């Protein structure tokens, strides 16, 4: 599933964590350690997000960020994915099931 999103806002959480609010194909919130990943992200940046059950063998060349998580809850057209404890909340009923391992690739453009 491919989503085109725009960074609406970026906030700081505890320690090195940031929270990114996204709008576009779906409203979404993503917790991510931008500083540790050495990623510079700004408001209005465009993110192309690919969510798939299959690992992309070319992820190193296609994406700026690549990770995997487990879909742990679907509730009222909101999908929750845990990425090592970090939460990716997507206001969209994704075509996956609770317990599915999902690979998430993010490409940043300005």
Residue 4 to residue 100: CA distance in whole angstroms: 22
Q: Phi and psi at residue 14, in whole multiples of 5°?
A: -70, 145
Q: Which domain holds residue 47?
A: 2-109
- What's the pLDDT score for residue 69? 98
pTM: 0.94
Q: Which of 20, 43, 42 is nearest to 104 (CA)?
A: 20
Residue 64 in contact with residue 87, Cβ under 8 Å?
A: no
- What's the pLDDT score for residue 110? 72
Q: Phi and psi at residue 59, in whole multiples of 5°?
A: -60, -30
Which CATH number characterizes residue 103's domain? 2.40.50.140
| Residue numbers in the chain where pLDDT is lower than 50 | none
6-15: pLDDT as tens digits? 999 999 998 8
User: Three-state SS for 35?
Assistant: helix
- What's the pLDDT score for residue 75? 93
74-95: pLDDT as tens digits? 998 999 999 999 999 999 999 9
Total count of domains within the chain:
1
- What's the pLDDT score for residue 36? 93
Residue 17, CA distances (Å) to 20, 34, 51, 91, 104 in order: 10, 7, 22, 21, 18
């Amino acid at each position: 599933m491919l989503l085109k999103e725009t960074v609406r806002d970026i906030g700081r959480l505890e320690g090195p964590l940031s929270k990114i609010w996204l709008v576009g194909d779906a409203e979404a919130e993503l917790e991510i350690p931008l500083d540790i990943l050495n990623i510079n992200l700004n408001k209005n940046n465009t993110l192309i997000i690919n969510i798939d059950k299959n690992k992309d063998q070319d992820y190193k060349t296609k994406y700026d960020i690549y990770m995997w998580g487990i879909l742990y809850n679907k509730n009222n057209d909101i999908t929750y994915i845990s990425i090592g404890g970090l939460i990716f909340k997507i206001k969209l009923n994704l075509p996956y099931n609770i317990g599915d391992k999902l690979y998430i690739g993010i490409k940043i453009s300005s």
